[in-house]
Structure 1
């Protein structure tokens, strides 16, 4: 197994002290890098392990915080924090840019070869970085088919891959159609994969907290979605010595 080095990184964003997780691949040279954004509940070991897995593949990976080190176990409390954030593109961009600055400042990062991957709120942040014109090599989102302000999707400069469950009540067919129309009108190189029978947050293993209707883990599609993300990165951001 490839040796991976990890440590926490603290920095200010959105009026909070963010505590993100940086994973470095073996070696000393510069490598392509990936931002990993969490769902609205916050950064936990699931995204940290995703960062470690990408480091195993040779990427510098930063699983970034959005809640100032908090993991919301109460769904209503999480929604009270996440919904205003999702309605504020400039706040999402601030959080994304702060994490991006940390990733770019890492000596192992090739600053010209960075992708952004996100789940839920973290995926919305990845999309907003694209709409802000950030030079990314790829954007990958799961459960995040958020649309942006009119015309700003035309500033996306890289392929966009999005995955969603067919039974996701938070991202229903109408939202899928709106997202597809925005990407198509903007001339983005985009793909949307609908995983049959999957609900919202299908990618995330079960956790000890109350679950809302329409939210549930789908182990098979979770594995497929991860493979799709890895393939996106291999295609748009290959690791080379």
Structure 2
């Protein structure tokens, strides 16, 4: 397995002290980088494992924080913070820019080769960075088909890939249609993958705390969504690698066709 290093980074954003997880690939040179956003519950070991897995592929990765080092396992508390956040593009951009500054300041990061990948609220943050005109190489989102202010999607200058479950009540067909219409009208190079039979947060392993209605794990589609994320990065942000994909749970690498879903006990919505 490729040797990586990790460390915790603290930085200010949204009036809080954020605590992110930085994962660095082996070697000493600059590498393409990924800004990795968590579900609405906040940064957990699931995102940390994903960051580590991408670092094994040769990327510098910052899994960023949403809630000042807190993981909001109470759905009502999570919604009370995330719904106003999702309704405020400037706040989301502030959180995204603060994390992006940390990632760009890392000496191992090639500042001209950065992608944003996010889940739920973290994916919405990545989209807002694109709408704000940040020069990203790719944007990938799962469960985050959020639309922006009129006309601002025209500022997105990179391919956008989005994944969603067909049975997701939080991102229903009407929301999918609004998102794709926005991307199409803006001339964005966009793709949407609908995973048949999957609910919201289908990519996330089962959890041991309450979740909002409509959330459910789908192991097969979780594996497919991870492969789709890695394929997006391979297309838009290629990096030399060993020809296989690291497992997000930190176990031995597997052939690309056999990428497993993450393990873990925390989930966002």
SS at match of 2:194: strand
2:173 paired with 1:139: no
SS at match of 1:54: helix
SS at match of 1:42: coil
Match of 1:220 in 2: 220
Match of 1:69 in 2: 69
Runs of 4 or more, structure 1, over 6 Å off, are: none
SS at match of 1:6: strand
Deviations 1:66-111 (A, max 9, x none): 1000101110010000000000000000000000000000000000
TM-score (norm 1): 0.99
Match of 1:230 in 2: 230
Distance across 2 between alignment mates of 1:24 and 1:231:
20
Match of 1:86 in 2: 86
SS at match of 1:161: strand
Match of 2:181 in 1: 181
Distance across 1 between alignment mates of 2:160 and 2:236:
10
Match of 2:116 in 1: 116
Deviations 1:14-41 (A, max 9, x none): 0000000000000000000000000110
Distance across 2 between alignment mates of 1:206 and 1:6:
26
Distance across 1 between alignment mates of 2:150 and 2:213:
32
Deviations 1:171-192 (A, max 9, x none): 0000000000000000000000
Match of 1:48 in 2: 48
Match of 2:256 in 1: none
Distance across 2 between alignment mates of 1:211 and 1:9:
28
**Quick one: higher RCO (CA 8 Å, sep 6+), 1 or 2?**
2
Match of 2:150 in 1: 150
Deviation at 1:240, TM superposition (A): 4.0
SS at match of 1:220: helix
Distance across 1 between alignment mates of 2:125 and 2:51:
17
TM-score (norm 2): 0.89
Deviation at 1:208, TM superposition (A): 1.3
Distance across 1 between alignment mates of 2:34 and 2:237:
9
Match of 1:160 in 2: 160
2:200 paired with 1:200: yes
Match of 1:24 in 2: 24
Distance across 1 between alignment mates of 2:23 and 2:68:
19
Of the structure 1 ranges 29-38 and 204-213, higher mean CA displacement relative to structure 2 is found in 204-213
Q: Which 5+ residue runs of structure 2 have no aligned equivalent?
A: 242-269
Distance across 2 between alignment mates of 1:7 and 1:213:
34
Q: Which 5+ residue runs of structure 1 have no aligned equivalent?
A: none
Q: How well do the aligned residues superpose, as a CA RMSD in angstroms?
A: 0.8
Deviation at 1:214, TM superposition (A): 1.1
SS at match of 2:115: strand
